[in-house]
Chain A
Amino acid sequence: MTTLPPPPEGQDPFRPPPSFLPEPPAPPPPLPETGPTAAVPLPPKPATEATPTVSTPLSPRTGSVYRRTIANEETTVLTPVTAATNILDRIPLSERKRWRLLAGGSALLAVLLLGFSIYLLFINDQWQTRSSALTSEAYDLGSRLADANAQIVEKQATLDLVSEQLNTAQARILELVDEKAQAGDDISYAQQQLSLYQELSALGGSVSLALNHCVNEHEKLVGYLKNPEAWDPGDLAAYEASVNTLCNAAQSANATLQKALTE
């Protein structure tokens, strides 16, 4: 911030310097006497008594105003201004120029404002059209969105149902696969049992045959022993031993069969 220099001694700091003031007009002629008394010339006022102020109406009687104008630093001359003077005449030329410029500028500004207002009206109309189109589009999109939402809800419900059905189907598949496997197990087990029974049946047949042989041979041996003198003792003993072996084998096979049947 710059600091202004202090005003000169004895000068009002709020008053512009004398150079900003217009040149004082020439001193008017002395006012004519209005009364019967003789005019007494006004004693010249000492310059030191002059007090610079603004214009002040001094004489309502004549409609004139006295302007006390600073002529210089020492003297002040009161200048009468008649009411008949045009007000523009009393405005300095520079002031008038300024007023003309201001008027011209105002007119230009008014024209510009008018043009701008028309432009704004045009733009406003376009924006309103766009706003209407957007509102219509928004309603359309909203309607389509609602339809899409409804479809999504419907599809989701369908999907949930299908998922549930898939889970049920998968669970059922696993059950059926298990049931099939169990059935396969049962068949395999049955085949095993069938094979076992076939084996046992075959074993039973063998045992039965062996036991029949045993019985037959045993009956023959009994017959031989009824008349032992008719046979060689050695051959008879050998035959008896072979019959015992045969019967023991048959009994053993029978024991195995009985054991297998009980398991």
Chain B
Amino acid sequence: MTHSRLMKASALAAASASLVACSVIPVAPEGLPEDWIPSVSPSPIDPDLLDSPLGFDPEQESAVRIRNSKCDELSSGSGFILDDHTIVTNRHVVEGFLDLEVNTSDGRDITVASAAVSQVSDIATITTVESLSPFAPLADEDPGLGDFVTIVGFPLGEEMTTTMGSVLQRSDDNLDNADHVFISSAEVEHGSSGSAAYDEQGEVFGVVYAGQDDSNYAIFIPISIVKESLANLDPLAAIKTCTY
């Protein structure tokens, strides 16, 4: 190799080395940022909490207690708010009433204007004078086996309770109050009649109307029959006088 070639090779090597070296030569630091903390926006509050001034679940706030004063006895049942002035419950909760009284879950007394019952199933409605809220949304479909179920009501006419379970089976109605019913593992008591059975989305997919004698498992009318019943209601008049 001649000297000139050696020199060219050396120059080339030096140039390459310079290029490589420039990439690792430290440079001056950039200026510091003025603000080290990124701005964050707060997460939106759960709308369910905003709708509930007392911090109850919507399912709890929709539950009502119904007192039926009859000639010879006093009974109580449960129900839920369907719309501004309508409460859904069982027919047997309102039948034979001299006087009906409704208490909301937060303790307000609601004046009853009228009642109506279905001849299709054990379903009835109560129309109120005062405006009601919040409404319990109705599901589009009947429950399926294994579905999660939540029942909110006033068992034994006492404190409001929430029981949970799953849908166990579809059954014929032994009491002939509906074409077919569903049995769930959520437990109920006397006084739970008329309670809403909620699915996981918080929609009503059934109305409790009885409990199994041995297990207290809730038996409820599926929403399809409830809707059919609500479309065919007959007025129910109060009893005027009692005969002893």
Residues in A lying within 8 Å of B, measured CB to CB: 94, 97-98, 101, 116, 120, 122-123, 126-127, 130, 133-134, 137, 141, 144, 166, 169-170, 173-178, 180-182, 184-185, 188-189, 191-192, 195-196, 199-200, 203, 256, 260
Contacts and interface: CB of A to CB of B under 8 A. Distances in A.
A108 to B, nearest CB: 10
Interface in B56-74: 56, 65, 67, 69, 71, 74
B3 A174 contact: no
Contacts of A116: 25
B32 A133 contact: yes
B29 A184 contact: no
B36 A203 contact: no
A41 B74 CA distance: 158
A184 B101 contact: yes
Contacts of B154: 181
Given A170-B54, A170-B55, A185-B67, A177 B27 contact: no
Contact of B107 (A169, A170, A173): A173
A178 B159 contact: yes
Nearest to A124: B26
Contacts of A191: 69
Given A185-B67, A188-B67, A177 B107 contact: yes
Contacts of A141: 36-37
B67 A184 contact: yes
B142 interface: no
Contact of B32 (A134, A170, A182, A260): A134
17 contacts: A116-B25, A123-B26, A123-B28, A127-B28, A144-B37, A169-B54, A175-B159, A177-B105, A178-B158, A181-B76, A182-B157, A184-B109, A188-B67, A191-B69, A192-B69, A203-B244, A256-B244
Give 5 nearest A-B pairs by CB, closest first: A177-B107, A178-B159, A130-B29, A126-B28, A188-B69
Contacts, number: 82
B28 A188 contact: no
The secondary-structure label for the interface of chain B is: loop
A128 to B, nearest CB: 10
A119 to B, nearest CB: 8
Contacts of B65: 181
Contacts of A260: 244
A173 B107 CA distance: 8
Given A188-B69, A196-B244, A256-B244, 7 more contacts: A94-B3, A123-B26, A134-B32, A178-B158, A181-B154, A184-B103, A195-B242
A116 B71 CA distance: 108
A177 to B, nearest CB: 4
Interface in B11-54: 25-29, 32, 36-37, 54
Contacts of B242: 195, 199
A170 B61 CA distance: 12
B99 interface: yes
B55 A166 contact: yes
Contacts of A195: 242
B106 interface: yes
A213 to B, nearest CB: 22
Contact of A120 (B3, B26, B29): B26
Contacts of B168: none
B160 interface: yes
A127 B3 contact: no
A178 B105 CA distance: 9
A176 B101 contact: no
A130 B29 CA distance: 7
Most chain A beta carbons < 10 A, residue from B7, B29, B65, B157:
B29
Contacts of B109: 184
A186 to B, nearest CB: 9
B103 A181 contact: yes
A185 B32 contact: no
A123 B27 contact: yes
Contacts of A169: 54
Nearest to B76: A185
Contacts of A126: 28-29
